[in-house]
């Protein structure tokens, strides 16, 4: 899938992670989410070419809760924040449980848990890389659709969301990559 093997002795173990994520989202017929996670993993590798196995696993699994969702989230800005907080904690739990069941080293499962559970607000290097990769991916793949769907949400709310997500990007390199996508989404939004 992504050819993401580094720092784990057994290549088959990393394939287990890839297959787990694929199966989980295929089971709910959400192929788009698989592609989204693959792009986040790609951007993670671009931002940090010597990425650890834990960060690569986290990039694939940081949104796994969506495949196991037990409850529907209401759509509102506040619900979005609550949903994101819940999703990061639940995704961390699901991935750690999966890694432990499949005999990954404890230090890897603990690190994956830490990265996923803190990727939205954490200040560790891996938190920032994953958050930046997710933001680049958001602007590359979701922002333009959000701009076009502005009949459902006010353009001002969408613009605020874009500005907040762009300002969340912590590194110059990530901002440079995301900026053309960000500008294009704003242009599309301004057509409304």
Answer yes or no: is 129 within a domain: yes
pLDDT given for residue 128 in this prediction = 96
pLDDT given for residue 45 in this prediction = 93
Helix axes 31-47, 125-141, angle to 10 degrees: 130
Answer yes or no: is 116 within a domain: yes
Answer yes or no: is 172 within a domain: yes
Q: What is the pLDDT of residues 101-119, one digit of tens each?
A: 999 999 999 999 999 999 9
Residue 154 pLDDT class (50, 70, 90 cuts): confident
CATH number at residue 61: 1.10.3210.10
Answer yes or no: is 4 within a domain: no
Q: Three-state SS across 14-69? A: HHHHHHHHHHHHHHCCCHHHHHHHHHHHHHHHHHCCCCCHHHHHHHHHCCHHHHCC
Closest alpha carbon to 61 in 114, 10, 135: 114
The rounded percent of the chain whose pLDDT value lies above 90 is 55
- Mean pLDDT of the 112-139 span: 95
Answer yes or no: is 137 within a domain: yes
What is the domain count for the chain? 1
- Mean pLDDT of the 13-31 span: 88
pLDDT given for residue 77 in this prediction = 42
Q: Which of 35-44, 65-74, 140-149 has the highest mean pLDDT?
A: 35-44
Answer yes or no: is 5 within a domain: no
Answer yes or no: is 22 within a domain: yes
Residue 4 pLDDT class (50, 70, 90 cuts): very low
- Mean pLDDT of the 116-124 span: 91
Pick from 23-37, 49-63, 115-129, 140-154: least confident: 140-154
pLDDT given for residue 143 in this prediction = 83
Q: How many CB atoms lie within 10 A of CB 145?
A: 10
Q: What is the pLDDT of residues 167-177, one digit of tens each?
A: 999 999 999 99
The CA-based diameter of the chain, rounded to the nearest angstrom, is 52
Provide the residue range defining the domain that includes 86: 11-190
Answer yes or no: is 124 within a domain: yes
Q: What is the pLDDT of residues 6-18, one digit of tens each?
A: 444 456 777 899 8
């Amino acid at each position: 899938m992504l050819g993401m093997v580094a720092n784990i002795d057994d290549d088959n173990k990393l394939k287990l992670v890839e297959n787990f994520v694929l199966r989980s989202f295929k089971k709910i017929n959400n192929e788009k989410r698989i592609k989204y996670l693959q792009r986040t993993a790609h951007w993670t590798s671009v931002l940090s070419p010597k990425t650890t196995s834990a960060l690569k696993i986290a990039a694939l699994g940081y949104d796994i809760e969506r495949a196991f969702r037990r409850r529907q989230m209401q759509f509102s800005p506040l619900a979005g924040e609550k949903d994101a907080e819940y999703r990061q904690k639940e995704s961390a739990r699901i991935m750690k449980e999966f890694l432990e069941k499949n005999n990954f080293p404890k230090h890897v499962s603990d690190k994956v848990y830490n990265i996923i559970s803190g990727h939205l607000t954490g200040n560790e290097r891996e938190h920032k890389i994953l958050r930046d990769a997710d933001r680049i991916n958001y602007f590359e793949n979701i922002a333009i659709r959000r701009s076009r769907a502005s009949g459902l949400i006010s353009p001002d709310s969408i613009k605020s969301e874009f500005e907040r997500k762009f300002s969340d990007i912590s590194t110059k390199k990530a901002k440079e990559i995301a900026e053309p996508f960000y500008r294009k989404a704003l242009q599309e939004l301004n057509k409304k």
